[in-house]
Amino acid sequence: MLGLGIESTAHTFSCAVIEKKGKKGKILSDVRKIYRPADGEGIHPREASRHHIENSSLVLSECLDEANVKVNDLDIVSYAGGPGLGPCLRVGAVVARSLASFYKIPIYPVNHALGHIELGKLLTGATNPLVLLVSGGHTMLLAFLNKQWRVFGETLDITLGQLLDQFGRSIGFASPCGKNIEELATTSSNYVTLPYSVKGNDVSFSGLLSATKSVAKKSKVDACYSIQETAFAMIAEAVERALSFTRKKELMIVGGVAANKRLSEMLQDVCKRHGAKFFVVPLKYAGDCGSQICWTGLLESQIKKGVSLKDTFVTQSWRLDTVKVNY
């Protein structure tokens, strides 16, 4: 079975084709164009959606060419229905609707966060993991129970990705700033005490953000080192609490911040202590991509025939824990 997936929740416009045979999926192509705001600035929804519109046909045709398939060969088309930025979401949805109605292909709206998890499971082979989803849009600890992903811990304010991006932008980096911060952090080992806020399995980063900004006025390097050490230690502690509470024997980390090596290193240590297996989604598929949407759409298609065009909604705040997973 051949599926096309379209991702456009934030800065990435991406299309991917996956071939599904039984429980296995093979990514035939995954093409992306990423909107880059100016240094020190954040994502502008209107500009991002304009970027997506301008690049959509190119990405789509490149993706089909690379996979060596024609639109007519596709069995389903899926798109990210949310959560994300409204103007951006609409671009992906329009492309999907056009294909679906013109070529009469079944269409599936997919929850973006669920996409991260399902693609992670496909690529890492994790079966029943505690999931740490860390990205610009999410910071959540999840476990699957009674047909739904349940939240065992999450951020009470901003996400880990937002923390790093907003801090990075304040010292002049371009979003996404995770990589720059990580590089600068390796050149310091001078820890400056910062607010550490773990509330049960939940974390809160807003105080840490303000405090780090003032540390950066004295030393950017120490600030980068200390923000990573503090924020990741908070995440690691929340993970430990959730592992010990849920007694899961697997931990899977997905989302853009999964690319950070220091975070991986810390979580690996956590897993060792709890006798849990550690899975990280491969770097290339950690961030937003069409594959995550495509694969989840293909899984849905096992039990659903697609939705009618009038129900092909986009929802800016579509929480993962409201999605029923029946496949």
The C-alpha atoms of residue 317 and residue 212 are separated, in whole angstroms, by 29
**Counting contacts by CB under 8 A, is residue 244 touching other proteins?**
yes
| Residue from 51, 138, 169, 248 binding other proteins (CB under 8 A) | 138
The two structure tokens encoding residue 321: 């824990």
Site string for other proteins, 155-184 (x = CB under 8 A): xxx-x-------------------------
In the complex with other proteins, the residue whose CB is nearer, 265 or 311, is 265
In the complex with other proteins, the residue whose CB is nearer, 136 or 178, is 136
| In the complex, least distance from residue 153 CB atom to other proteins, rounded to whole angstroms | 8
Tallying the residues shown for the chain, one arrives at 327
DSSP letter for each residue of 238-304: HHHHHHHHH--SEEEEESGGGG-HHHHHHHHHHHHHHT-EEEE--GGGTS--HHHHHHHHHHHTTT-
**Counting contacts by CB under 8 A, is residue 81 touching other proteins?**
no
| Residue from 42, 245, 304, 307 binding other proteins (CB under 8 A) | 245
The C-alpha atoms of residue 258 and residue 224 are separated, in whole angstroms, by 17
Site string for other proteins, 89-128 (x = CB under 8 A): ----------------------------------------
Site string for other proteins, 281-320 (x = CB under 8 A): -----------------------------------xxxx-
**Counting contacts by CB under 8 A, is residue 88 touching other proteins?**
no
Helix and strand counts by DSSP (H, E) for the chain: 9, 12
- Residue 97, classified by CB atoms within 10 Å of its CB into exposed (0-12), middle (13-18) or buried (19+), is middle
> How many residues of this chain interact with other proteins, rule: CB under 8 A?
47
Residue 312 near residue 110 (C-beta atoms within 8 A)? no
Residue with tokens 């759409």: 297
Residue among 159, 190, 160, 164 nearest 179 (CA): 164
**Counting contacts by CB under 8 A, is residue 277 touching other proteins?**
no
Which are the contacts of 29, defined by CB distance < 8 A and separation ≥ 6?
Answer: 15, 16, 17, 62, 63, 64, 65, 66, 67
| In the complex, least distance from residue 36 CB atom to other proteins, rounded to whole angstroms | 24
In the complex with other proteins, the residue whose CB is nearer, 51 or 248, is 248
| In the complex, least distance from residue 244 CB atom to other proteins, rounded to whole angstroms | 4
| In the complex, least distance from residue 28 CB atom to other proteins, rounded to whole angstroms | 31
The C-alpha atoms of residue 183 and residue 168 are separated, in whole angstroms, by 12
Q: What residues between 246 and 275 interact with other proteins by CB under 8 A?
A: 246, 265-266, 269-270, 273-274
In the complex with other proteins, the residue whose CB is nearer, 27 or 85, is 85
| Residue from 62, 66, 75, 154 binding other proteins (CB under 8 A) | 154
Residue 262 near residue 232 (C-beta atoms within 8 A)? yes
Residue 292 near residue 70 (C-beta atoms within 8 A)? no
- Residue 90, classified by CB atoms within 10 Å of its CB into exposed (0-12), middle (13-18) or buried (19+), is middle
In the complex with other proteins, the residue whose CB is nearer, 4 or 114, is 114
Residues that bind other proteins (CB under 8 A): 83, 137-140, 143, 145-146, 148, 150-157, 159, 191, 193, 196, 198-202, 229-230, 233, 236-237, 240-241, 243-246, 265-266, 269-270, 273-274, 316-319
